[in-house]
């Protein structure tokens, strides 16, 4: 089958996964291209011609970093090319038709991917959490399995020494969740490209996933505290701010620069009324974070005497 020229744009979008691809350089003819690797074998070359056609197989060689038969078949699957005679061999399990429709579970999954989660170049959904936030990973696993009927794995992180002692203290012990499903990734990426078209009734679930991953609650005493979220991607911060405003929740934007790192963009929810509205719409799956939010709201809605009696005996 011969690949159409319009599909080159799709190929580039898939290969360049939001600043996570390394060793990329510009090519005059085809936009972005992977760096040169080892020489193609006759078997690999024939497989590429079979899936993409003789006319384009030579030019497409530079787009495959991993050139195993499975990798080429998966890429053809994502580009909707003729690989039906091979894909069954690699158990590309189709998700139920209900998984293609947006639901509260899928909306939460989208929020986690936008936050702490990720989709790597091998089409794996991945989430890494510290030891005291295992409940977040378990909740994400439950949502994934309920939505697509697929089994996600949670494994313990191996101890790694890091240059920054603060990072080492946080990530010395932890867990990571992994789900390998090309079908699931394809559906998720489709919705991520059209976030602004998602109905308002699903927005709280997306925000729930985002704040589970990157949100925090700060309690500084009676009626003193804030909810905040911080990211390096300003576009996502703008999306969160617009989404919160749909529910009349105001958030103050600020930015900070760290030498040697990307700029950090932050949203603070500080007004008492906004904090109470937030607590009604969004719930944290991380118990310690939800406990802090409950304390903050209790202080706002109860007297000082009742607050200190419950939280500061």
Question: pLDDT, tens digit, for every residue of 232-280?
Answer: 889 999 999 999 999 999 999 998 877 667 788 999 999 999 999 999 9
Half-sphere exposure of 286 (CA within 13 A, CB side): 23
Q: Which residues of 180-191 are buried (b: 16+ CB within 10 A; e: fewer)?
A: ebbbbbbbbbeb
In the predicted model, is pLDDT for residue 217 greater than 70? yes
Let me know: does 238 contact 263? Beta carbons within 8 Å.
no
Whole-angstrom distance, CA of residue 5 vs CA of residue 10: 10
Average pLDDT over residues 110-137: 84
Question: pLDDT, tens digit, for every residue of 166-188?
Answer: 444 444 578 888 888 878 888 89
CB-based burial of residue 247 (10 Å sphere; 0-12 exposed, 13-18 middle, 19+ buried)?
Answer: middle
For residues 105 and 179, state if they share a domain: yes
- Smallest CA-to-CA distance from 193 within 110, 132, 287, 263 is with 110
Let me know: does 210 contact 288? Beta carbons within 8 Å.
no
Element (H, E) at 228: strand 225-231
Q: How many separate domains does the chain show?
A: 3
Average pLDDT over residues 34-41: 60
In the predicted model, is pLDDT for residue 83 greater than 80? no
For residue 270, what are the domain limits?
202-311
In the predicted model, is pLDDT for residue 62 greater than 70? no
Least confident range of 10-14, 44-48, 205-209, 225-229: 10-14
**What's the predicted TM-score (pTM) here?**
0.71
What proportion of the chain, given as a percentage, has pLDDT over 90?
A: 31
Domain C-terminal end among 128, 163, 198: 198
Tokens coding 68: 């195993």
Average pLDDT over residues 130-145: 89
For residues 78 and 30, state if they share a domain: yes
Largest pairwise CA distance in the chain: 79
Domain C-terminal end among 37, 72, 90: 90
In the predicted model, is pLDDT for residue 296 greater than 90? yes
In a domain, 2, yes or no: no
């Amino acid at each position: 089958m011969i690949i159409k020229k319009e599909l080159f744009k799709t190929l580039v979008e898939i290969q360049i996964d939001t600043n996570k691809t390394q060793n990329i350089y510009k090519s005059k003819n085809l936009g972005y291209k992977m760096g040169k690797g080892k020489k193609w074998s006759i078997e690999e070359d024939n497989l590429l011609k079979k899936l993409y056609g003789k006319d384009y197989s030579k030019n497409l060689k530079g787009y495959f970093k991993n050139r195993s038969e499975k990798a080429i078949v998966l890429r053809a699957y994502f580009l909707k090319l003729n690989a039906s005679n091979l894909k069954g061999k690699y158990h590309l399990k189709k998700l139920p038709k209900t998984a293609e429709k947006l639901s509260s579970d899928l909306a939460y999954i989208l929020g986690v991917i936008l936050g702490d989660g990720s989709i790597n170049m091998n089409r794996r959904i991945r989430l890494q959490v510290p030891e005291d936030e295992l409940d977040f990973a378990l909740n994400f696993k439950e949502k994934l399995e309920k939505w697509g009927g697929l089994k996600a794995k949670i494994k313990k992180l191996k101890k790694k020494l890091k240059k920054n002692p603060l990072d080492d203290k946080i990530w010395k012990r932890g867990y990571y969740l992994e789900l390998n499903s090309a079908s699931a990734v394809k559906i998720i990426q489709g919705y991520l490209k059209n976030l602004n078209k998602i109905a308002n009734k699903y927005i709280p679930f997306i925000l729930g996933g985002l704040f589970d991953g990157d949100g925090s609650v700060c309690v500084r005493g009676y009626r003193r505290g804030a909810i905040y979220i911080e990211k390096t991607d300003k576009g996502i911060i703008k999306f969160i701010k617009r989404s919160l405003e749909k529910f009349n929740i105001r958030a103050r934007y600020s930015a900070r620069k760290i030498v040697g790192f990307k700029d950090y963009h932050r949203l603070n929810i500080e007004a008492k009324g906004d904090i109470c509205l937030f607590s009604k719409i969004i719930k944290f799956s991380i118990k310690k974070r939800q406990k802090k939010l409950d304390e903050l709201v209790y202080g706002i809605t109860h007297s000082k005497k009742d607050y200190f009696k419950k939280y500061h005996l």
